[in-house]
Structure 1
């Protein structure tokens, strides 16, 4: 990342610069009407998705361009390459595990709070004291096997086909 930041020549990140250029192209759809000292009314197509994102919206770009000022000068400092270089100036050393972290005098962070999830809560089946909770298989130990062809006890149907019916 550090080498990538050294290759950038301008004041702003390339991604943000591309977004600002797109906003400059879209500002032709807006009409700027001055309504006082540094106050403007911008008319035109509005989107439902307009929020404070740090590099402006089409309305602000239209009013800045109306004043013949550079739009890139109004981009927040957090998107500047100098801030990027300050953040990645020092080497970040990876560690194998949390045992290698340096000890501090601060209290350790608490685990996240368990919140109740939305929706109907899952309920567990109430087990009776009579029910056996250990086994889930039904034993066939005492059940007598009866043939469906000759109706005798002790063998199944395939045995009759192999040996033939007893006479």
Structure 2
């Protein structure tokens, strides 16, 4: 039930916000009255203008302030917040900052663990061997997927 004299309704929205809810507005329209008359005075333009009618005076610059005997105002002390501290990554010698442009990481030459020769690794060492030595080491040849038996890959 909407009570226009007490400005209440069962949903309590009108009580909490002081603005009529949709049920109260339909009851006000049924009584052929204006819903604006049932809105609280704090939402009216005249109240808003009265609140902000006073102007805030600006403050003079610091050089015009009068000196005082009070101690200077200090910034608050820093308290370390709980949690895991951030750590800096240790940079490689090639990544250290220099006067010139930044360079990327210098790659070392590949070295095979099988034959200890620079220029290839364990996985690709057979590519750098002669066919007779590769056959003696036991590298197998396999057929390609297209079914051509004459073409083989090491």
Larger Rg belongs to: 2
Same fold (TM over 0.5): no
More relative contact order in 1 or in 2 (CA 8 Å, sep 6+)?
1
* TM-score with structure 1 setting the length: 0.31
